[in-house]
Amino acid sequence: MAKRKMSTFERLQRGELNRKKRKQLEQQIANQDASLQIVHPDTAGIDVGNDSHFVSVGPARDAQWVREFGSWTEDLRRMVEWLQSCGIKTVVMQSTGYYWIALQEALEKAEMKVWVVNARGTKNLPGRKSDVQECEWLRRLHSYGLLRNSYQPPEQIRSLRTVWRRRETVVKEAGRAVQGMHKVLTTMNVRLGNVISDLSGTTGMTIVRAIVKGERDPRKLAQMRDRRIKASEQEMVLSLEGNWQEDALFELQQVVDGYEFWQKQLEACDQKLKQYLEALPERAREEEKPADKEAEAKEDPRARRRRRIKANKKQKNQPAFDLGAAQRRTLGVDLCRIDGIGEMTVQSILSEIGPDLSAWPSEKHFTAWLNLAPRRDISGGKLIRHVVVPGKQRVANALRMAAQSLKDSDSYLGARYRFLKVRLEGARATKAMARYLACLIYRMMTKGQTWVDRGTEFFEAKRRQRDIQALHRKAAALGAKVVFQA
C-alpha cells in the first residue's frame, strides 16, 4: 500500500525539516566567500510559496536557522516574532505571484524593511534545487548587496492602484457584454450595428432594452433613435427587422443583465476612485518662471485650439467626476498639455507610480525602469545584440498607446513620431516615441516645467538644420565643401 503524503499542516506540526535537504544545504553553504563585503548584516531570506514559506536567518542567529512556516495568518505572526527575536531588520523575497503581498504587509507592520526582488536576478545561477536552498541563497545574495529592490509605491497609491486596475477589468468585461449583444442581434439578423456606431450608446441601449421587454415592431423601435443619428428612419426600420428566436432572446436578456451589472460595478469603482484621489495630499504648483512665459509666447496658435477640443472631448468609459482637476491638484502640473496624453493615461501613471518620482535619479533611470530604453549587449566595443526584456509594464503600454495616437497629429510630437516611423520599424518607432513622452512627463513632474507645442513647422525646420549640419560634416571628412544654391 502506498504511503500517504502528509499535508502542509501535518508537516508543520512535526516541526522539523527534511534532514537530507538540511545536510545538503549545510554542505553547499559551508564555504563563505571572504572576498565579498557584508552590506546588509541583519537580513533574512524567504522563499515564498502557496502552502508554506521557507525562511533563513543565517547560522549565527539561531540553532535552527532555516524554518518552514505555513501561509496562515497565525503562522505569519509566528514568523514575524521569530525574525524579531533573531534581530532581523531587512527581509528579501521574490515576487512570486500574489503570495508575497500578505507576507509583505505583515512584515511592514512589524517595521521591517522588505525587499521584493525579481526572479530574473537570481535564476541564472546553478545549484539551487529546493526551497530550503533558495531562501538561504536569497539571504546570502542580499547580505552582499547583489540584489536590486523592486519599486513599491506608498500605501495610499497601492489602494488607488487596486481600484484603478479593478476598474480596467470591469471596463473590459462590459466591452465583452457589448460584443455579446452584437453577436445575438446578428444571429437574429437584426443589423442594428450597421446603422449606429456605438451599440452601448443612448440609442443602442434604448432599442436593445425595448427588444428584451418584448417590443418587436421595427417602426416603433426605429422611433426610439436619437435625433443625432445620421441614418434615416427607413434605414433603421430595415435594420430592425429580424428573426425573433426564443433561445436568442433569452441569451440577449442574459447579456443585457450582465452589462447592467458591470455598469453598476463601474459606478462603484468611480466613487471609490474619487474618494482615494481626494485623500491624496495636494501638491503645490511652482510659480511660473519667465522662461516659461517666453516659451508660451512662442507656442503654435493651433496648439491652444487643440487643447480646448481635447478638454471638451471626453474619452469612452471615463469617470463621471472631474478627473483632470483631481490629477492637477495631486500632481501639481497638467500632463494633458502633452499631445497624445489624455486623462486616462495620466491616471494610469498616477495609479501605478504616484506623484513622487524621486525613486529615479534621472529620466534615463525612469525610462529604463519602464523598459522603454534600449538594452544592448556590447563586447569589445561592438554591439552584439539588442536584448528584449520580457514583462508587463502598464505605464509603458499606456505610453505606447499614446504614441500611436500621434500618427495624424498636427503638432511637434506628431511630426516627430512620423519622422521616427520613416527611420525605424513600426514597433521600434512607437517605443522610441513612448520613451520621449516618458522623458517629458519626468521633466514636468520633477522640475515643474510646462510643455509648449511649437508646431510641425518648427520640427521640420530643426530637422532640416540637422540634415545640413550632417552634410557639412560628411563633406569636411572627404575634404570637400557644401555650397547651397539660392
319-340: pLDDT as tens digits: 888 898 999 999 989 898 899 8
What's the CA gap between 51 and 366, in Å, rounded?
A: 36
Q: Mean pLDDT over residues 151-168, rounded? A: 92
Q: Mean pLDDT over residues 222-248, rounded? A: 87
Residues 6+ apart with CB under 8 A from 202: 226
What's the CA gap between 169 and 190, in Å, rounded?
A: 29
User: What distance lies between CA 324 and its chain's CA centroid?
Assistant: 19
Using alpha carbons, select from 97, 49, 98 the residue that is nearest to residue 71.
49
- Per the model's pLDDT, the better-predicted residue between 304 and 393 turns out to be 393
Using alpha carbons, select from 7, 3, 58 the residue that is nearest to residue 32.
58
* pLDDT band at residue 168 under the 50/70/90 scheme: very high
Sign of CA dihedral 242, 243, 248, 253: positive
- Which of 32-36, 258-262, 286-290 shows the highest mean pLDDT? 258-262
pLDDT of amino acid 409 = 87
pLDDT of amino acid 442 = 95
Helix (H, G, I), strand (E, B) or coil at 46: strand
Q: Which residues pair with 55 in a beta bridge?
A: 46, 67
175-184 in b/e form (b: 16+ CB < 10 A) is eebbebbeeb
Q: Are 81 and 175 in contact (CB under 8 A)?
A: no
Sequence-ordered strand ranges (E) for 5-163: 43-47, 52-56, 66-70, 90-94, 113-117
pLDDT of amino acid 115 = 92
- Per the model's pLDDT, the better-predicted residue between 312 and 189 turns out to be 189
Using alpha carbons, select from 448, 91, 49 the residue that is nearest to residue 284.
448
pTM value surpassing 0.85: no
φ, ψ at 193 (rounded to 5°):
-70, -15
Q: Mean pLDDT over residues 302-314, rounded? A: 72
